[in-house]
Amino acid sequence: MAAIRSLPLSQGPKPIPTFGLGTFRAEGNDCHESCLAALPRPMADNLCRREIENEDQVGTSIEAFLAEQTEVTRDDLFIVTKLHWDSHGGDKAVAKVEESLKKLKLAYVDLFLMHSPKGNKVVETYKGLLEAKARGLIRALGVSNFGKEQLIELLATGVEVPAVNQIELHVWNQQRDLTYFCQQKNIVVMAFCPLARGDKFGKTRLTAIAERLGTSEATLCNYWVLKSGFVTIPKSVKPSRITGNLEVLEIRLSANDVAELDTLEEAFECSLAVAAQRIPWSEVA
CB 30 within 8 A of CB 56: no
Distance CA 66, CA 59 (A): 11
Distance CA 168, CA 195 (A): 10
Beta-strand pair 80-83/46-47: unpaired
Distance CA 146, CA 202 (A): 30
Distance CA 165, CA 100 (A): 20
Residue type for 48, please? C
Q: Is 115 annotated as a binding residue?
A: yes
First to last CA, the chain: 45
Strands (E), 57-127: 80-83, 111-114
Chain CA centroid to CA 3, Å? 19
Distance CA 172, CA 232 (A): 15
List residues forming the annotated binding site for substrate: 115
List residues forming the annotated binding site: 115
